Structure 1
Amino acid sequence: MHMEEPCFNFLRTKQTLGYHVYPTCRNTSGILGFSVTVTTQATKNNSELVDKKIEEFLLYFEGRMRLLTEKAFRTQVSALIHIKECEDSCLGEEVDRNWNEIMTQQYLFDRLAHEVEALQSLTKSDLVDWFQAHRGKERKALSIHVVGFGEQEGDSGVQQSVLSEIYQLTFLPPSSYMKNTSYIRDIRNFTLMLNLLPYHKILK
């Protein structure tokens, strides 16, 4: 929530990298993380350049958090608490939330109340320390680039049904922007070398 507006302002308004720019919190089998997504035109911006600009934004955002006043921090925390305390707008929201607890076998049906309790005790230093810990030299980050090619979307003369298209994945060589990164050429072989983390249940 705190990252949404500055993310859009930095990457969309100032850098004009694309219309779809947003940060996302992730919970993958109990492993928490966050991502920044930028959908841009392949004919306008190089994906490696976009990746570099995302890194610049995260550096800028860290400085922004340091300058955040305690009053502004408490205002944002209070707004998030208010959102979590709001009643469901329809029965479907409650069903989806509780069904997710059942599907993941966690059964923490009062999860929102626990999150509110945690937010009430959260401090600005907690937030800054957490961000620095996950942005330092020991951080783990994965940058995914998907680049289209061929006929541009909306071009005239493209009559063939998309159902008959055969898609092929072609790995592109890294550019000079990515010289300090580890380039993954074989996804399956790379994942086989990784440690398999057990499914983690967030119960408190």
Structure 2
Amino acid sequence: MEVVLTKEQLGYVVNCSPRVTYRILGFCFRVQSSEFNPVYLQGRIDSFINSLKELLDGLDDESFENYKSGLIVKLLEKDPSLHYETNRFWGQIIDKRYMFDLFEKEAEELRHIQKNDVIDWYNTYLRHPSTKCRRLAIRVWGCNADWKEANTQATSVQVIEDLTAFKMSSTCLSELLLKDCSSV
């Protein structure tokens, strides 16, 4: 993603990465820009996600296996320092997962993944209009942004103006927040 969106010079921070929040696996796209408004940036991210279909369809089996092998090697690399290893272990403890061999388990699972598995996952969970595709878009408008674009929202978008009220209105989120606060 960085290469595609960086070529367009969309922002000064452009990245994507997997993310685990409250044990829910997700994928995070982040673009920070002083030139473009959040609605435009969201459109470019959506365009990038949709363009992945062509990339996946055009990927030959040998290239897929090379990418897979490279990722397995990366997962099985030794931590570069005690500091990295400590942070990795503490991350498991804080999340209460205690999977200290997570990278080894991921590498083992990755050995069995085929190109069609990745395409099916992409079509099911990442690509619109799949019914299982879920997205949370957080748009932060800078002080110089044009607010006219903010009113051109899609009908399925929920704008949160009062964060405290939103947190309390969501029973699942409220339970998670209360659970987290009680463990402190």
Q: Same fold (TM over 0.5)?
A: yes
TM-score in terms of structure 2 length: 0.81
State which of 15, 18, 41 in structure 1 corresponds to 2:11.
18
| Cα-to-partner distance string for 1:112-170 (whole Å, 9 max, x where unaligned) | 110110111111111111111112134211111112216xxxxxxxxxxxxxxxxxxxx
Computed over aligned residues only, the root mean square deviation of the Cα atoms, in angstroms, reads: 2.3
AA of the residue aligned to 1:75: N
AA of the residue aligned to 2:6: R
Summarize the alignment of residues 162-177 of structure 1 with structure 2, pairs less than 5 Å apart: 174-176=150-152
* In the alignment, structure 1 residue 61 sits paired with structure 2 residue 52: yes
Distance in 2 between residues matched to 1:122 and 1:49, nearest whole Å = 35
* In the alignment, structure 1 residue 179 sits paired with structure 2 residue 148: no
Residue equivalent to 1:30:
23
Distance in 2 between residues matched to 1:172 and 1:188, nearest whole Å = 25
Residue equivalent to 1:100:
91
AA of the residue aligned to 1:129: D
Residue equivalent to 2:164:
188
The percentage of aligned residue pairs carrying the same residue is 26
Query: For the structure 1 residues 9 and 101, does the alpha-carbon distance in structure 2 shift closer, same or farther, using more than 3 Å as the test?
Result: closer
The runs of at least 4 aligned residues of structure 1 exceeding 6 Å deviation read none
AA of the residue aligned to 2:151: S
Shift of 1:76: 0.8
| Cα-to-partner distance string for 1:43-98 (whole Å, 9 max, x where unaligned) | x2122111111111100012211221111111111111111111111111111112
User: Tell me, what secondary structure is at the counterpart of 1:18?
Assistant: coil
Q: Retained in 1: the 8 A contact 2:39–2:149?
A: no
AA of the residue aligned to 2:123: Q
* In the alignment, structure 1 residue 114 sits paired with structure 2 residue 90: no
List gaps (5 residues or longer) in structure 1.
1-6, 151-170, 200-204
Distance in 2 between residues matched to 1:103 and 1:139, nearest whole Å = 28
List gaps (5 residues or longer) in structure 2.
177-184
Residue equivalent to 1:79:
70
Q: Retained in 1: the 8 A contact 2:12–2:32?
A: yes
Q: Which structure shows the higher helix fraction?
A: 2
Query: For the structure 1 residues 10 and 181, does the alpha-carbon distance in structure 2 shift closer, same or farther, using more than 3 Å as the test?
Result: farther
- Bigger relative CO (Cα 8 Å, ≥ 6 apart): 1
Residue equivalent to 2:134:
140
| Cα-to-partner distance string for 1:8-64 (whole Å, 9 max, x where unaligned) | 232220x321132111100112100001111111xx212211111111110001221
Query: For the structure 1 residues 90 and 64, does the alpha-carbon distance in structure 2 shift closer, same or farther, using more than 3 Å as the test?
Result: same
AA of the residue aligned to 1:26: R
Moved more, 136-145 or 114-123: 136-145
Distance in 1 between residues matched to 2:78 and 2:94, nearest whole Å = 22
